[in-house]
Amino acid sequence: MSYNKDNNHSENLQKAKKRVALHTLGCRLNFSETGSIAQGFEKRGYDVVDFGDEAEVVFINTCTVTDGADSSCRNLIRKAVKSSPDGKIVVAGCYAQMDSERISQMTGVDLVLGTTEKYKVFEYLEEEEQDSVHIEKTADFYGAATSSAEGHTRAFLKIQDGCNYVCSFCIIPQARGRSRAISVERALDEAKNLIHQGFKEIVLTGVNIGEYERSSGEKLTDLVKALLDLEGLERLRLSSVEPNTITDELLDVLESSPKFLDHFHIPLQSGNDEILKSMRRKYTVEEYKKIINKVITRFPNAGIGADVIVGYPGETEEQFKDTYNLLKELPITHFHVFPYSRRKGTTATRMDNHIQHPIKKQRVKTLTMFGDAKLDMFSEDQVGTSSQVLFERRNKEGLWEGYTSNYIRVYLKSDQNLKNQVLPVYITDFKNGRAYCEVLQ
């Protein structure tokens, strides 16, 4: 009898010590979804450990926006198998949705789950005899939000998923399906839970959050208003917003509250109208300029980010220069530069005049260096100004790092524990690519 009790105690101890390591590639939407899945593991008795540590389950939430993202996913799978040879390796998300056969054939992979099936990971792990691949398409909306278990200080709240646009280069609508969204009521409940966990800043995220109204039947402005009125929420940001969906009404709401942070991410992709038309983007260069100017008129010190694709099929040197010159002209403070990447099933893949890799590589380098210089100039311009900063972590040098309202990373020397504190700071200096600050008394 005592032998059975000892055995039961040992089994319970083993259950209590189950570990899960999670890794996220790609967009903020992916981070919000991984957060919800991490919470699910915690509720089932798992400890969340760092990716690379040995674990009973390794969960990789993947991205497939470029072939480089696909390659990174495969490298992470190999690392997971090496660090947790006896663990269950779960590969989920967009890349899993689009290339499940290749992933399932990789050594050590136990489960491949698509963009919606990943939320059922717990059911599949409990099955004694399981299929290794679960790829389905559904119109259901699965809510998601960052988990405090992952150690983040900013919470990503998913309000929308999928996309109805047909941009010629983009595979995401195939991976995630048509646009759908959370209700205002449910989003508020999710936000209240995040505030209860201790988050002071929420970032609203989705594939195309500007399509929220078309997907939910409720206005994005009503959702934003309600969130800004929540007690305990100190800061609100929007993730990437398509330029054609930024309305005067939305800007009115954002401008009306000190809780909204003057930071925008507005995809550009190209500064040439012919390329934009071929890409099936929903705006012209002039329309994009007007949107940026509207934003900067209302938020004069805003940080504005943009996505840019170079080396799109047929892009000439002159068309590339149009993009460079537009980025030079506009008050865009930082940009993410991507070389065009063939995505199976997209229109652009079938086009003629694909650009050679060395040319794409050089164009990426040119814009990246220019983007770094613009961000440095913008950061240097902040010297002598004050801002509220949410401090996130202490780096290896002992300096605290955090972001201003307009998304400038600042550094502060302090012996106190400042994690997750929002403090007023004065930016004192900019040197060697860093903005330094001190706390305002």
Alpha carbon distances (Å) from 410 to 121, 142, 325, 406, 425:
38, 35, 29, 11, 9
Distance CA 373, CA 353 (A): 31
Asked if 62 and 91 touch (Cβ cutoff 8 Å), the reply is yes
Topology of domain 292-381, CATH: Transcription Regulator spoIIAA (3.30.750)
Asked whether the beta carbons of 138 and 120 are under 8 A apart, the reply is no
In the chain, where the domains are located: 14-134, 153-261, 292-381, 386-439
Do 153-261 and 292-381 show the same overall fold? Answer: yes
Rounding to the nearest 10 degrees, give the CA dihedral for residues 171, 176, 181, 186. Answer: -140
**Domain 386-439, CATH 1.10.3210.10 — does that match?**
no
Tokens representing residue 123 in the block: 């059911």
pLDDT number for residue 5: 40
d(CA 400, CA 274): 46
Write down the residue that tokens 């101890």 correspond to: 13
Query: Dihedral angle at the C-alpha atoms of 255, 412, 369, 363, nearest 10 degrees?
Result: -60
Task: Report the residue count for the chain.
Answer: 441
- Amino acid of residue 300: P
**pLDDT value of residue 108:** 95
Sign of CA dihedral 94, 100, 102, 103: positive
User: What is the pLDDT, as a whole number, of residue 313?
Assistant: 98
Residue 159 to residues 37, 152, 156, 316, Cα–Cα distance (Å): 16, 19, 10, 38
**Which CATH number describes the domain made up of 14-134?**
3.40.50.2300
| Rounded alpha-carbon distances, angstroms, from residue 302 to 36, 91, 240, 408 | 31, 38, 14, 10
Phi, psi of 266 (to 5 degrees): -125, 100
Q: Which amino acid is at 336?
A: H
What is the β-pairing status of strands 133-134 and 109-113? parallel
* Token output for 33: 């979804």
Listed in sequence order, the DSSP H helices in 100-247 are: 100-104, 121-126, 172-176, 184-197, 212-216, 220-228
Which residue, among 150, 151, 174, has the nearest Cα to 162 in the 3D structure? 174
Closest Cα partner for 76 from 41, 49, 103? 103
From CA 299, how far away is CA 270, in angstroms rounded? 24
pLDDT at 95: 95
What is the token pair recorded at 131? 């299929």
- Is the torsion defined by CA of 32, 389, 221, 287 positive or negative? negative
Q: What is the pLDDT of residue 1?
A: 38
Say if strands 235-238 and 201-205 run parallel, antiparallel, or are unpaired: parallel
Strand partners, 412: 400
CA 162, CA 150: separation in Å to the nearest integer?
A: 25
User: Per the confidence metrics, is the pTM higher than 0.75?
Assistant: yes
Query: Chain centroid to CA 337: how far?
Result: 15
The residues near 190 (Cβ < 8 Å, ≥ 6 apart) are: 143, 145, 157, 182
Residues of the chain with pLDDT under 50: 1-14
| pLDDT at 150 (0 to 100) | 64
The span from the CA of 397 to the CA of 55, in Å, is: 30
- Identify the pLDDT of residue 135: 81
3-state secondary structure (DSSP) of residue 201: strand
DSSP H stretches of helix in 1-83: 2-16, 28-43, 67-83
Q: With the C-alpha atoms ordered 254, 231, 382, 367, is the resulting torsion angle positive or negative?
A: negative
Pick the CATH number of 153-261 from 3.40.50.720, 1.10.10.10, 3.40.47.10, 3.30.750.210: 3.30.750.210
CA dihedral 120, 122, 127, 133 (to 10 degrees): 50
